[in-house]
Every structure is written in structure tokens, then in C-alpha cells.
Amino acid sequence: MRRRLLIAGVLAVVLLVAVTSGLYLVMNSRTFQVAGRIVPRVDTDQKVVALTLDDGPSERTPEILKALAEAGIPATFYLIGNELAVHPEQGRAIAEAGHELGNHSYSHRRMVLVGDDTVREEIERTDAEIAKTGYQGPITVRPPNGKKLLALPRYLSRHDRTTVMWDVEPDSGKQATTDQIVDETLAKVRPGSIVLLHAMYSSGAASLAAIGPIAAGLRARGYRFVTISQLLLN
């Protein structure tokens, strides 16, 4: 009897570990979610690449816009609703410069184990702030920290919204120099790649400085920069 209990106990633990690690993988996966379209990269032979910039807008926006203008490339900005509310002029400047705006939630909270009402509010309030910038193009969604589980994918699927992830992340979770960011990007970009950079805060100086060399390096390799919605047409 005691032995049977022990076996049952061990099985329960094994099952719990399996379910937990499965949920963990799904939460962080860049290629799978329970519902709706998720795009980490577009499958194409065309040498097209999309640069995406997460977070903000902040007062560093003008410097980023200047770097993009000098490089002559478009970008897609995944903006945070409550930061747009604080810096509406920066959001307008991004829209006026002709870049694409995306939804990165209202509060940048983890969109995991959240209810349907929270998801709706996080997405719709951010859409409303994006609309105030004058931007009228398509608005794709990137979950904060790339994490999603059930309610967010369900909501996005129901509203026919695309979740956009990335396949090249040269400055995520590490202190990289500009050279390292450029080198990793040039080494990893493939046709249809989506590059993620963080240049909006003071910690993003190396990434900001990498924009020009990345644009030059990829152009030299025959790549053309497009926005996310243009990339999705491939």
C-alpha cells in the first residue's frame, strides 16, 4: 500500500513537472501559440529584412529617428501604451516619419495568467494611443518580453490580429557592445528575418549606434529593409 502511494506520488510529480515545463515552453515559444497567427520570421527567398524597435516612446525617440533617416531605412516600433500617453509628441514624430507602429501592450506587464478583460484593456487602450498619433496603418502585436499563454493569443486570434516575434535578437538579455550587436545581426539575418533592437532607454546606446552599421552591412549583402506589414506580404 505504501509502495503504491509512493508510485502515485512520483507519477504526480512527474506529471506536474511535464505540464509546467510544457506551459513554460509554450509561454516563451517564438513559433507556437495556442491560437492565431504568430510570426518569428517570414519564409521567403527575397532578401528582405524588418528592423523592429521595442518599448517607449521615450525622449530618445528623436535620436532613433535621426539614425533611421540617415540610414534611409523604415522600422517598426512596438510601443507601450502608457509611455505613448506620457510622450504623445514622440509617438506623432514616429508616425510622421513614416515608420510603422505596433502594439506592445499598455503597461508592459507579463501577459501570462491574465484574464480576458485585462488582455482586452491592454490591447485596446494601446490601440487608442496609437490612433492619437495619426498613424493609420496596420497594427500588429508583440507581447511584452515575448510571453503569452492563453488569453492573449485567444483574444488576438478572435480579432484577427497577428503576433509578431523575431528571429534575431542581438541585444536581448546581455550587455553587448555596438560591434557585437552589428556582428551578430549580420551573421544571423536570413531572407525574411525580423531583427529586434532595444534603443529607447539609456541602456540602449550601443543598439542605437548599431542601426547605421546594420543598415549598411545588410545593404552590402543585398538586403532591402521593409516594415513588418510589408514583410508579411511576402
The footprint of Zn ion (CB under 5 A) covers 54-55, 144
CB of 6 to Zn ion, least distance (A): 45
Q: Are 93 and 65 in contact (CB under 8 A)?
A: yes
Q: Cβ of residue 80: shortest distance to Zn ion, in angstroms?
A: 7
Which CB sits closer to Zn ion, 142 or 161? 142
Residue 66 corresponds to which cell in the numbers above? 535621426
C-beta neighbour count of 120 within 10 angstroms: 13
| From 43, 54, 87, 159, the catalytic residue | 54
Q: How far is the CB of 28 from Zn ion (least distance, A)?
A: 14
Residue 193 sits at φ, ψ, to 5 deg, of: -70, 155
* Residue number with CB closer to Zn ion (57 or 144): 144
Residue 225: count of CB within 10 angstroms of its CB: 21
Which is nearer to Zn ion, 55 or 100 (by Cβ)?
Answer: 55
Task: Give me the residues paired with residue 77 across strands.
Answer: 53, 101
> Please, which residue, 54 or 184, has the CB nearer to Zn ion?
54
Shortest Å distance, C-beta 5 to Zn ion: 47
Would residue 54 show up in a list of annotated catalytic residues for this protein? yes
CA distances from 123 to 76, 104, 130, 139 (A): 17, 8, 11, 11
Q: Which of 87, 99, 104, 198 is catalytic?
A: 198
Residue with the closest Cβ to Zn ion?
54
Does residue 45 have an active-site annotation?
no
CB of 150 to Zn ion, least distance (A): 20
C-alpha–C-alpha distance, residues 223 and 47, integer Å: 5
Q: What is the DSSP string of 179-228?
A: HHHHHHHHHH--TTEEEEE--SSGGGHHHHHHHHHHHHHHHHTT-EEE-H
The values of phi and psi at residue 79, to 5°, are -100, 150
Instruction: Please say which residue, 146 or 192, places its beta carbon nearer to Zn ion.
Output: 146
Question: What is the rounded CA–CA span in Å between residue 75 and residue 66?
Answer: 12
Active site (catalytic) residues: 54, 198
